[in-house]
Amino acid sequence: MHDKFLSKASELMPELNETIHRPVELVEALPDKNALHGVKMINGKYVENLYSQELQNGDIFTVDFGTHIVGYLTLKIKPVGHQQDSPLRLRLVFGEMPCEIPDFEYAGTLSSTWIQEEIVNIDVLAEPFTLPRRYAFRYLKVEILGRCTAYRVKFEDIYCTAVTSSDCSSIEKLNDDMDTMLAKIDEVSIRTLKNCSQEVYEDGPKRDRRLWLGDLRLQAIADYVTFKNYNLVKRCLYLFAGLPHPDGQISSCIFHEPTLSNDSWILNDYSLFFISVLYDYFNETNDLNLLKELWDTAFRQAEIVSEQIDEYGLVKHGQTKYFVDWCEGLDKNTSAQAIAIYTFKQCHALATALNDEKRMSFLEENINVLTKGAVKHLYNNEIGFFESGERNQLSWHSQIWMILAGVFEKDANANLLKRLINSDIEIRPRTPYMYHHFIQALFDCDMKEDAIKYIKAYWGKMVELCADCFWEVFDPDNLLLSPYNSIQINSYCHAWSCTPSYFIRKYLS
């Protein structure tokens, strides 16, 4: 634990901006096999109708706040017909998506306690009742529990105090002639980033509410072209640097609550991305002091992976210690190799900025060894693709990461990408996280029109499916996909999905 970094992180603790949101409509979640996830929200009456009704045990209603919000719920309720002679008991169900509202059997692999559901007892109705926990939601179902309660109730007000550390006033307007779909995608991306930006960049405000390095890397670049929340990026870099593992390796994620600590789960790609976040931050701000402070930490990540290169110039443990994507059956070895090359090159650029010659030549040597290893042992000249693992698996992931790593020159990369797009390789990106890398590869190869086409086909499809924020997992061919075996536990406002704003504002405005 490095206290000096942690105390700097705590000095950068952001203030949260608050806004009040009220429900806009009464709705009902009904089963419909043609609707997304099999549940359709039927628009109902004005919320004012609710406020004039007297409700009693057994009554249920659902309200729609009109958009995704993250915050604290307050209820103002008064007893009618009789004094409040007993507690009021409510069941509250919060949903980012319609599929979370109807009762369901949970069959997921993550803790069911992530499901946003409460039973609350209100002893004194005279005061507004604010729930102590924070929720991420658009829909709220309220069920009046109990039996034989002597009084009925009237809801007088329902509101959510939404919180974020993003400052919305700093966002520049897009050009007036921006394509309508891209403008809508930008709006949803910005909301996604805003709702994930809290005391740290959370991966998802519903789940895991944690700072993951892979997510931070993408949030940061999207933030530079929108909110410009540089201090939050800096704070998160200090948090990671302050909580390394004993050998200096950076953790894949940080819990900032309930106690500040790191996760024992090591993912080499995420550790290496510490270099990328610092590299992007330095390019954006020219903050040489921060670079100097965090340089040893960043370099250590490359050094650790360099110790794992075998005699063929290949990264070992590629299958076990890398995340790459939530994609079943994916062989990650070749992606791991490419991620090492990609981040070592960024590390080399940082060493150059610092004039650290010793580390420059160390990195140069490693980049050469890894690049030669990749071309010699992983690239299959006959078929024109990179293969991965003992079974020579072909995947989109391997090609995309090798393009990003710049193993070949630009023209050869563009040809590889075109071959990939026209191929029938079935192992494809399954998350907006991996899709981001595909789009980046298209821009890197100057294939701007294709990039626009795929941004619209992927994030635009979520918009067509009424996404208020972009989702953790999305496969247009399998809308029920969940890495955790439950569509209800998927996160529907997820950090790593917010990068269309980065592409639109960096390359298209």
Residues contributing to the site for ligand RAM (CB under 6 A): 203, 208, 212, 214-215, 323, 472, 496
User: Closest separation between CB of residue 274 and ligand RAM, Å?
Assistant: 14
Please, what is the minimum distance in Å from the beta carbon of residue 496 to ligand RAM? 6
**Separation between Cα atoms, residue 184 and residue 191, nearest integer Å:** 11
Specify the 3-state DSSP secondary structure of 497. helix
What's the closest the beta carbon of residue 306 comes to ligand RAM, in angstroms?
Answer: 23
**Cβ distance 502 to 219 under 8 Å?**
no
Nearest distance from C-beta of residue 250 to ligand RAM, angstroms: 14
Cα angle at 416 between 414 and 421, to 5 degrees?
95
Cβ of residue 214: shortest distance to ligand RAM, in angstroms?
5
Report helix angle 448-464 to 500-507, nearest 10: 140
Q: Closer to ligand RAM at the Cβ: 339 or 363? A: 339
CA count, 13 A, side-chain hemisphere, 169: 1
Supply φ then ψ for residue 164, to 5 degrees: -160, 155
Q: Select 398 or 491, whichever has its Cβ closest to ligand RAM.
A: 491
Residue 361 or 485: which CB sits closer to ligand RAM?
A: 485
Report how far residue 7's alpha carbon sits from residue 12's, in angstroms, rounded to the nearest whole number: 9
Its sign, for the CA torsion 220, 287, 441, 484, is negative
Distance, CA of 297 to chain centre: 24
Q: How far apart are CA 53 and CA 80, in angstroms?
A: 10
Nearer to ligand RAM, 323 or 396 (CB): 323
**CB closer to ligand RAM out of 182 and 495:** 495
Contact 466, 402 (CB under 8 A): no
| Eight-state DSSP code of residue 201 | B
C-alpha to C-alpha distance for 255 and 253, rounded to whole angstroms: 7
**At its nearest, how many Å lie between ligand RAM and the CB of residue 203?**
3
Looking at the Cβ atoms of 149 and 482, the one nearer to ligand RAM is 482
- Closest separation in Å from C-beta 264 to ligand RAM: 14
In the complex, what is the shortest distance from the CB of residue 212 to ligand RAM, in angstroms, rounded to a whole number?
4
> Is the CB of residue 480 less than 8 Å from the CB of residue 487?
yes
**C-beta of 266 vs 403, nearer to ligand RAM:** 266
Give 207 or 428: the residue with its C-beta nearer to ligand RAM: 207
